[in-house]
Amino acid sequence: MSMGNSSEQLVKDMLAGSRLALARLITKVENRGADLPELIRILYPHTGRAQIWGITGPPGAGKSTLVDRLASKLRAEGKRVAIVAIDPSSPFSGGAILGDRIRMQRHSTDEGVFIRSLGTRGKQGGLSHAAKEVVLVLDAAGFDVVLVETAGVGQTELDILQLAQTVLVVLVPESGDSIQVMKAGLMEIADVFAVNKSDRPEADQLLRELVAMIGLSASSVAWTIPVHKTEANRDQGTDALLKAIQRHQAYLSESGARQKKTQAFLRREVLDILNERLNQSVLRSFESPEGREIFDQLLQRKLDPYQVADRICPK
Amino acid sequence: MSMGNSSEQLVKDMLAGSRLALARLITKVENRGADLPELIRILYPHTGRAQIWGITGPPGAGKSTLVDRLASKLRAEGKRVAIVAIDPSSPFSGGAILGDRIRMQRHSTDEGVFIRSLGTRGKQGGLSHAAKEVVLVLDAAGFDVVLVETAGVGQTELDILQLAQTVLVVLVPESGDSIQVMKAGLMEIADVFAVNKSDRPEADQLLRELVAMIGLSASSVAWTIPVHKTEANRDQGTDALLKAIQRHQAYLSESGARQKKTQAFLRREVLDILNERLNQSVLRSFESPEGREIFDQLLQRKLDPYQVADRICPK
């Protein structure tokens, strides 16, 4: 390995503005090698400045187009913008996403925009970690805003949103009461709602439903979730949406909520690292001769899970 | 406390057939007191015999009616049946569930059927543990089949389904492509599909979609997920559905998949106990004077999460 690939050198080059070093660091983080803790240690003092926005919603809601519009507007304000797109892990819902990625290439000649897709297929467990650390790299690289776009409502996607300070949920008008639950779940993570494709006839009904749900849930909350109608394709309503997100960012700073969110993220992060370490050590101990014997006794119901836990990790 | 309430005595009474002792044990498990590990130890040798079926799907799909029908048919076969209904945690999707519970009271004079609802509100974290252990009590009590009914597609619900050997996913015909993702997620957990309310015009289309998705995903799987049209209200298609579930149970035994599932459940169970214990100990250590100081350094980015993890739990 050449000197130029050491973590230390790559971070230096990245801080000096090298896009190549940035891309290599992100790949390193994605690969999750043994040198990851060292890399994070070197990066860490340079982090904590970026605004991190999460964008989620069902496939076909127009998230990527909206992200594209927001990125352009942020560029017009002189901000450096990074986009991290998490592709869904399911083989049944991929199609449109790749096209969206290609469309976003319109930014590709702009040095102030960086776009990276992370695939989830086959690394379900590691993805939320990798995504968090990719965001950390972009934060250290000095991007003002990192937009993290995820599809779906799976746990992985929700985990990833935990790192966002502001979560934008994008919905589209359509019928069917089965999405009520999804809406309810999204209510707990949304800071701002967009009703996209708002030229459709049912847009006003969806807007009314969302406002009613927010009214039910907002009694004890200092921030009332705003709902904005948008047509990302025609760039309608997107300026007001951007302002709403920026108002939320201002609210976070003024209310002290930003500090609290950061504390919760960091606590979660330390716990995740320790849980991951515990899981690996427990799975290893199941493979040892003694562990197999204990596990056999569990299968025969001679020991119960609490007793096995005590034997594997004495209190 | 009277002798009659000791765990040992309650388990004895329950094994002798006391419904009151059973109800008290379930309450004990739900309350998750300090004596829980001891209670599990006493119960454990009596467990491992029940068939555990999970039933999930969106609200309004008619799950409870279907569960009701399946329970009646199992009773007609002379089986003892327990129903555990997990009520959704969200305040936005409760309505119909309570009514369903009330309707199921038709079994209430039948000693061979036991029905228990578990509420999720406010105990998100503990619920999947509590539900697993309620099922354990019912298993020890000698029920032949435990039907675990959950609404929604949240992580808690999915966790609960991890304890089921056979998962029935109930869908209803309706429009809207936003449920594609949900369908895709369900594809990974379903062993049997029911297209309920199949008198609706779009039923055949949903059936075709599901069969196509199963075809795409089934290449390397020994069990091909069957799809059954049902009208639970009119008791149509429910006999064939019951047979499909029972075929899956037979497949599990014959293929060795049952053994593998049990091993995976138990491994997960031990890990969950240890993770929970780790989380509590880490959260406590964050509250100690030394822990606060370390956490402050993390907030100031003088330490990174990996370094903090090492200090809290030296390797």
Q: What is the ipTM of this complex?
A: 0.82
Q: What are phi and psi of A254, to 5 degrees?
A: -70, -35
Chain B interface includes A83 (CB < 8 A): no
pLDDT score of B70? 96
If asked whether residues B118 and B154 sit together in one domain, one would say: yes
Q: Confirm whether A263 is domain-assigned.
A: no
Q: Do A158 and B153 touch (CB under 8 A)?
A: no
Same domain (yes/no): A42, A52? no
Residues in A touching B153 (Cβ below 8 Å): 153, 181-182
Q: Is A260 inside a domain boundary?
A: no
Q: Identify whether residues B282 and B169 lie together within a single domain.
A: no
- Final residue in a domain of this structure, among B208, B227, B255: B255
Residues A172 and A53 in one domain: yes
Closest B-chain CA to A209:
B92
Same domain, residue pair A203 and A119: yes
Name chain A contacts of B306, Cβ cutoff 8 Å.
Answer: 36-37, 40-41, 273
pLDDT at B182 over 70: no
Are residue A251 and residue A151 in the same domain, yes or no? yes
List the 185-224 stretch of B: residues with Cβ below 8 A of A: 185, 187-188, 213, 216-217
The residue segments making up the domain with residue B36 are 1-46
pTM: 0.75
Mutate to test the interface with A, among B178, B214, B302 (most CBs of A within 10 A): B178
Q: Residues 138 to 157 of A: which have CB under 8 A from any B CB? A: 151-155
Residue numbers in A near B216 (CB within 8 A): 91-92
Mutate to test the interface with B, among A211, A306, A311 (most CBs of B within 10 A): A306
Q: Is the pLDDT of residue A95 over 90?
A: no
Task: Find the CB nearest B274 among A267, A282, A301.
Answer: A282
Q: Is the pLDDT of residue A160 over 80?
A: no
Q: Mean pLDDT over residues B188-217, rounded?
A: 86
| Residues 6+ positions from B241 with CB-CB distance below 8 Å | B66, B70, B168, B192, B194, B228, B230
Q: Is residue A262 part of a domain?
A: no
Is residue B274 located within the same domain as residue B173? no
Do A78 and A198 belong together in one domain? yes
CA distance A25 to A292: 40
On whether both B163 and B275 belong to a single domain, the answer is no
pLDDT at residue B1 in the model: 42
Q: Are residues A302 and A228 in the same domain?
A: no
In the predicted structure, residue B268 carries a pLDDT above the cut 90: no
Confidence of residue A120 (pLDDT cuts 50, 70, 90): low
Q: Which residue has the higher pLDDT, A117 or B233?
A: B233
Q: Nearest chain B residue to A274 by CA: give it.
A: B309
Any domain includes B262: no
Nearest residue of chain B to residue A91 (CA atoms): B184
Indicate yes or no: CB of B47 within 8 angstroms of CB of A181.
no
Amino acid B219: pLDDT: 52
**Which pLDDT score, from 0 to 100, does residue A51 have?**
97
Look at A59 and B270 and tell me if their CB atoms are within 8 Å: no
> What is the SS3 string spanning B79-135?
CCEEEEEEECCCCCCCHHHHHHHHHHHHHCCCCCEEEEEEECCCCHHHHHHHHHHHH
Query: What are the tens digits of pLDDT across the range B210-246?
Result: 888 788 776 556 899 999 999 999 999 999 999 999 9
Chain B interface includes A72 (CB < 8 A): no
Count of domains for chain B: 3
Q: In this structure, are strands B81-87 and B113-119 parallel, antiparallel, or unpaired?
A: parallel
On whether both B247 and B274 belong to a single domain, the answer is no
Using a CB–CB cutoff of 8 Å, tell me whether A299 touches chain B: yes
A34 with A53, same domain? no
End residue of a domain, out of A229, A255, A281: A255
In a domain, B163, yes or no: yes
Q: Across-strand partners of B115?
A: B83
CA distances from B153 to B55, B228, B245 (A): 12, 21, 21
pLDDT for residue B189: 82
Task: Answer for the pair B207, B229: CB distance below 8 angstroms, yes or no.
Answer: yes
Q: Which residue has the higher pLDDT, B159 or A215?
A: A215
